[in-house]
Amino acid sequence: MLKLHSYGKINLFLDIEGRLQNGYHLIRSVIQSVDIYDEVVLNSLDENKIIIECSDISIPVNEKNTCYKAALLLKEALCINSGIHIYINKRIPAEAGLAGGSGNAAAVIKGLNVMWKLNLSEEEMCSFGMQIGSDIPFCLTGGTCLTEGIGDKVTELNDFSWNDILIIKPEFSMSTAFVYKNLEPQNYNLYKNNRILEYISLNDYENAGLSVENTLEKVVEKFHPEINGIKKLMLDNGAISSVMTGSGSAIFALFKDTVSLNKAYQIAVKIYPDTFMTKTVADGTKFIN
């Protein structure tokens, strides 16, 4: 048996640089792992099949599940005749822009690489991951990274260390495909002059925290303008900045101290039950003894 934690992520910065002829968008994003995690448990099976179980009954446990896709991809590509049982204890909300499903798949790839003695390099694991989802290479790397291209180019950055983060997942969810389908060209390259990379390179956390931006907000707020109310709630209660993560629907905010964070949490959780206090971490996935 192997047990891993797959950590969620927030996009400190996300800009769209263009769109390829095949429909994929070119992104430029600073992504950060945070201390909200799912638990992924791998057990060998005598039978040559893949079985998925999940604590959240709303998550599919068939071939649509990212863990299933990851295990099947490795089995078929590398001619593996072993079976695997995968249990997912979900804590990260789905369709929230927090990479819950991508992190789970990354954990499966990382775990099966050990369990099946595949000896895959990180680059090879990322290559398999890209065939399932564009956030998986980041989830395999973790920490603070610049992600470019279609998500396939991941560059590790200085750690962005922040202890007081609030994440609110509203009642509605967002499909990544829907958001990108409704992204208009006038929203490309909105933040070319953003200096967040410079601030992170200097370990200037405060100015980096003040530089958070996400162009995909422009899409989501058209359909769910309440995200602006959530941002205002956090800013009015001590946050120095607040922005949507990924393609939504979760919104995060950075606070300077735990007192302000706790105060905002107490107000927010009464309105939005899926509210989390968290901090940055340096891992995307991690083996647990």
* Domain end among 108, 138, 157: 157
Q: Are residues 72 and 150 in the same domain?
A: yes
Residues 200 and 221: their CA atoms lie apart, in Å, by: 28
Indicate the number of domains in the chain.
2
Q: Are residues 148 and 184 in the same domain?
A: no
Q: Are residues 66 and 141 in the same domain?
A: yes
pLDDT > 90 in the chain, percent: 98
Q: Are residues 249 and 172 in the same domain?
A: yes
Is residue 135 within 8 Å of 109, Cβ to Cβ? Answer: no
Give the pLDDT band (50/70/90) at residue 23: confident
Assigned domain for 288 exists: no
In a 3-state reduction of DSSP, which class is residue 42? strand
Q: Known catalytic residue: 283?
A: no
For residue range 163-188, what is the model confidence (pLDDT) as tens digits? 999 999 999 999 999 999 999 999 99
Q: State the Cα torsion 241-247-6-101 to the nearest 10°.
A: 160
Q: Beta strands 213-214 and 2-19: pairing type?
A: parallel
* Domain end among 157, 178, 194: 157
Q: Are residues 143 and 213 in the same domain?
A: no
Q: Are residues 152 and 202 in the same domain?
A: no
Mean pLDDT of 44-59: 96
Assigned domain for 72 exists: yes
- Angle among Cα 86, 90, 92 to the nearest 5 degrees reads 135
Assigned domain for 245 exists: yes
Q: Are residues 169 and 240 in the same domain?
A: yes
E-only strand ranges, 22-132? 25-45, 50-54, 83-89
Assigned domain for 289 exists: no
Is residue 88 within 8 Å of 52, Cβ to Cβ? Answer: yes
Assigned domain for 283 exists: no
* Domain end among 127, 157, 187: 157
Q: Are residues 22 and 145 in the same domain?
A: yes
Range of the domain at 130: 2-157
Assigned domain for 172 exists: yes
Q: Are residues 182 and 274 in the same domain?
A: yes
**pLDDT of 206 over the 90 cut:** yes
For residue range 219-276, what is the model confidence (pLDDT) as tens digits? 999 999 999 999 999 999 999 999 999 999 999 999 999 999 999 999 999 999 999 9
Which residue of the set 38, 69, 90, 135 is catalytic?
135
Q: Are residues 71 and 174 in the same domain?
A: no
Question: The domain spanning residue 181 has which CATH number?
Answer: 3.30.70.890
Assigned domain for 286 exists: no
Q: Is 257 exposed, middle or buried (0-12, 13-18, 19+ CB in 10 A)?
A: exposed
In a 3-state reduction of DSSP, which class is residue 141? helix
Q: Known catalytic residue: 236?
A: no
Q: Are residues 126 and 188 in the same domain?
A: no
Q: Are residues 126 and 230 in the same domain?
A: no
This prediction has a pTM of 0.96
